[in-house]
Amino acid sequence: MSAYLSIDRVGITFPSPKGPLEVLKDMKQRVGIARALAMEPKVLLMDEPFGALDSLTRTHMQDSLLEIQARLNNTVILITHDVDEAVLLSDRIVMMTNGPSATVGRILDVDLLRPRDRLALAEDPTYHHYRAEVVKFLHERHAPAVVKRARAARERPKLRLAANG
């Protein structure tokens, strides 16, 4: 894939109606992705690649990644905190436990047909099942801490003010 094709694929155009600082942040993200894709790697590690992008650009870049991955038939390891992004883009979701000594908490195989159509998946019960499984894992992991904080808040002595009068 040529650099020009990569730049076109990630939607870099000039001039942009966005402000200069927003353009710089957005373009920096896109150029980094284009640079990685131009090398046509067999394995591509992407750490929150779309996090700094606006919603519409993020959607376009996710769709582009799906197309490019299908064409190259490479492995993409994507680190994300976005549940919908994980389910849309993944064949396997590796969910991690919390904290500095995080370990693999659960692996979820995502058996959705490719190519993936985000509009069709919005109404697909299987997609929603996978999404619910990820959300359930996340909430079960955080629930003990939330319950503990709530219990501690209930047990704290309350300050009561009395008015003289």
Rounded Cα gap, residues 80 and 96, in angstroms: 11
Residue 161 has pLDDT above 80, yes or no: no
Residues 91-130 have pLDDT tens digits of 999 999 888 888 999 999 999 999 999 999 999 999 999 9
CA distances from 158 to 6, 56, 92, 147 (A): 61, 48, 48, 19
Task: Give the pLDDT confidence score for residue 10 in this predicted structure.
Answer: 58
Domains of the chain, by residue range, sit at: 41-154
CATH number attached to the domain at 41-154:
3.40.50.300
Question: 34-38, long-range: CB within 8 Å, 24+ apart, which pairs?
Answer: 34/3, 34/6, 34/7, 34/9, 34/10, 35/3, 35/6, 37/1, 37/6, 37/9, 37/10, 37/68, 38/1, 38/2, 38/3, 38/5, 38/6
Beta bridge partners of 140: none
Residues 34-67 have pLDDT tens digits of: 788 778 889 999 999 888 788 888 898 899 889 8
- What tokens were used for 36? 């990685």
Enter the pTM of the model: 0.71
